[in-house]
């Protein structure tokens, strides 16, 4: 019989695993895959391919988050001591097991989809490991890798149906929003990154350069929404939501340029996640009424 102490230990360990894989991010990944799959207009049984791709992408994202925390242990001791590894709720070995299980599961699932998805999954597992081990601490390179991986999540659902072009626009939105968010997060973490000599963009080139790069990324999102609206690629709901999101982005740009403090960066980082979710909702609703997207 399991004792109360053992039950508490299992519960604590399960909670730590959930924290290290970041279930909120996994949900966004799965929804992004579902959206791109929807835009490719699956018929009947093709939906099973989209669901399998959602599972594969979520496994890869979970493994990437786990290995990131493994290599970030010293940084997190300064920046995020409440995380499962710094606070001792999860061991390095356990985190590595989460990475291994997630990576293998993603690849195995991809075997049942198609060659393109398998290639994307294998590439993603490899590049996320290299990112955590080597590239995360390189100015801008790490940001571009994570942004590219997020963009792939908004592409791979359509790739499962052999029509990756259907996911190109949401992938571009996701790439730019994630790039802005990653740079803003580096500004938030600048103190801890300096202590461990991580050569992120703000550490190497200063907050001013990081401000400029993040703001350019956000402005490019606004430009992309205007291009998509003018091209009538999606229906009126997209236009309505795009107006709201663009107003939010312009507000973020103003406040981040005026006052790029740690607290402001943390706030904008969270808001950019909502912008990405809002953009996904806008594209989905806009696709329902678009004359250029038909079943």
- CATH code, domain with 275: 1.10.357.140
What DSSP designation does 277 have?
A: H
**41 token code pair:** 């207009």
DSSP codes joined into one string, 221-245: HHHHHHHHHHTT-S-HHHHHHHHHH
Looking at residue 6, what is its pLDDT?
52
Contact 69, 85 (CB under 8 A): yes
**198 token code pair:** 């991580």
Confidence of residue 295 (pLDDT cuts 50, 70, 90): very low
- Alpha carbon dihedral 85, 87, 88, 90, in 10-degree steps, equals -40
Give the CB-side neighbour count of residue 17, counting CA atoms within 13 A.
15
pTM value?
Answer: 0.86
Looking at residue 44, what is its pLDDT?
78
Taking the C-alpha atoms of residue 136 and residue 143, their distance in angstroms, rounded to an integer, is 7
In a domain, 224, yes or no: yes
Model pLDDT for residues 108-128, shown as the tens digit of each residue: 999 999 999 999 999 999 999
**Residue whose entry in the numeric block shows the structure tokens 């001791």:** 77
Over residues 145-159, mean pLDDT = 94
Contact 233, 271 (CB under 8 A): no
Contact 69, 26 (CB under 8 A): no
Give the CB-side neighbour count of residue 162, counting CA atoms within 13 A.
5
**Residue whose entry in the numeric block shows the structure tokens 């409440």:** 82
- Alpha carbon dihedral 17, 18, 21, 22, in 10-degree steps, equals -150
Confidence of residue 293 (pLDDT cuts 50, 70, 90): low
Over residues 73-78, mean pLDDT = 79
In a domain, 7, yes or no: no
Looking at residue 294, what is its pLDDT?
44
The lowest-confidence range among 3-7, 75-79, 151-155, 203-207 is: 3-7
Query: Which has the higher per-residue pLDDT, 80 or 3?
Result: 80
Give residue 171's domain range: 14-288
Confidence of residue 80 (pLDDT cuts 50, 70, 90): confident
In a domain, 93, yes or no: yes
pLDDT at 9 over 90: no
User: What total number of domains does the chain contain?
Assistant: 1
Contact 110, 56 (CB under 8 A): yes
Confidence of residue 94 (pLDDT cuts 50, 70, 90): very high
In a domain, 2, yes or no: no
Model pLDDT for residues 219-254, shown as the tens digit of each residue: 999 999 999 999 989 999 999 999 999 999 999 999
45 CA to centre of own chain:
28
165 CA to centre of own chain:
20
Over residues 52-77, mean pLDDT = 91
What DSSP designation does 65 have?
A: H
Taking the C-alpha atoms of residue 260 and residue 212, their distance in angstroms, rounded to an integer, is 11
**Residue whose entry in the numeric block shows the structure tokens 């990756």:** 164
Strand partners, 138: 199
In a domain, 1, yes or no: no
Taking the C-alpha atoms of residue 122 and residue 112, their distance in angstroms, rounded to an integer, is 14
**Residue whose entry in the numeric block shows the structure tokens 């001013």:** 208
């Amino acid at each position: 019989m399991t004792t109360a102490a053992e039950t508490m230990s299992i519960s604590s360990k399960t909670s730590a695993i959930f924290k290290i894989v970041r279930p909120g991010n996994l949900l966004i990944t799965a929804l992004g895959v579902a959206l791109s799959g929807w835009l490719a207009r699956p018929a009947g049984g093709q939906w099973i391919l989209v669901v399998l791709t959602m599972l594969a992408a979520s496994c890869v994202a979970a493994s990437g988050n786990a290995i990131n925390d493994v290599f970030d242990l010293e940084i997190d001791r300064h920046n995020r001591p409440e995380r499962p590894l710094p606070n001792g709720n999860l061991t390095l070995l356990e985190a590595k097991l989460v990475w291994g299980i997630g990576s293998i599961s993603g690849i195995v699932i991809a075997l049942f989809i198609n060659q393109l998805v398998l290639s994307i999954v294998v590439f993603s597992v490899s590049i996320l490991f290299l990112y955590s081990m080597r590239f995360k601490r390189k100015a801008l390179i790490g940001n571009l890798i994570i942004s590219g991986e997020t963009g792939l999540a908004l592409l791979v659902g359509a790739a499962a149906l052999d029509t990756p072009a259907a996911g190109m626009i949401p992938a571009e939105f996701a790439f730019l929003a994630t790039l802005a968010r990653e740079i803003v997060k580096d500004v938030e973490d600048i103190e801890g990154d300096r202590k461990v000599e991580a050569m992120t963009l703000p550490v190497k080139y200063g907050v001013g350069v990081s401000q400029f790069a993040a703001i350019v990324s956000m402005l490019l999102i606004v430009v992309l929404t205007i291009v998509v609206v003018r091209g009538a690629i999606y229906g009126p709901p997209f236009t309505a939501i795009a107006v709201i999101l663009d107003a939010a982005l312009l507000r973020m740009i103003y406040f981040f340029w005026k006052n790029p403090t740690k607290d402001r960066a943390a706030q904008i980082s969270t808001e950019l996640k909502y912008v990405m979710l809002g953009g996904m909702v806008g594209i989905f609703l806009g696709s329902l009424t678009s004359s250029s997207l038909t079943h």
